[in-house]
Every structure is written in structure tokens, then in C-alpha cells.
Amino acid sequence: MTGGSDWRDVKAKARELDPSWAHPERVARRGQLREQMLASVSGAQLAEIRKQLGMTQTQLGTRWSAPTGTPAARSTSGASPPSTTWTPPNWRT
């Protein structure tokens, strides 16, 4: 087993091997992919919290006052998703 690599060294090596690594379009695409990954993780965490509370998606949406309908309708409703530090209230009482 080998020791770990410093992330700065890994990125420096990537730039050395592929000079287009730091191209603005590639940087923007990596940012988009990062956001998608974080959204997926946040969704999985929310699902786990919901399951721990014994709630359905509909029940959670109702308690959270989430919009219903198509994704386009939801995106224009003005409702904000919970932040990454969001903690559900004690809804069982």
C-alpha cells in the first residue's frame, strides 16, 4: 500500500500533462459537475433524514411547503431548498 497524494500535486500533474486543464470552459464544466454531485449527495442525505423520520416524500414536501407540479413549475415557485446545514424540526410531536 502506498501513501496518499497531496491534492495540489495531483492537480499540478494534471496541468502538466494536459495544458487545457485550466481552460475556462473546462473549469466551468467541472464546476457544473461538482454542483450536480453535491445536489445528488444532498438529495440522498434528505432522503435518509426523511426515512429516519418515517415520512413519505409527499409528507415531507407538505411539511416543508414544497411546490408541486412539473420541475419547471417548481423552479419558478420561489421555494428554496434546505441549506446544507438544514436540520428538520421534530415533526413527530
DSSP one-letter code for 77: S
Which amino acid is residue 58, in one-letter code? T
Range in 26-35, 49-58, 61-70, 78-87 with the lowest mean pLDDT: 78-87
Q: How far is CA 8 from CA 5, 33, 45, 64, 90, in A?
A: 9, 20, 29, 41, 42
Quote the pLDDT of residue 93. Answer: 43
Residue 23 clears pLDDT 50, i.e. is over it: yes
Q: What percent of the chain has pLDDT over 90?
A: 27
Residue 79 clears pLDDT 80, i.e. is over it: no
Whether the predicted model's global pTM rises above the 0.75 cut: no
pLDDT-derived band at 65 (thresholds 50, 70, 90) equals: confident
Distance of CA 21 to the CA centre of its chain: 24
Cell triple for 53: 423520520
d(CA 49, CA 64): 13
Quote the pLDDT of residue 62. Answer: 83
Residue 40 clears pLDDT 80, i.e. is over it: yes
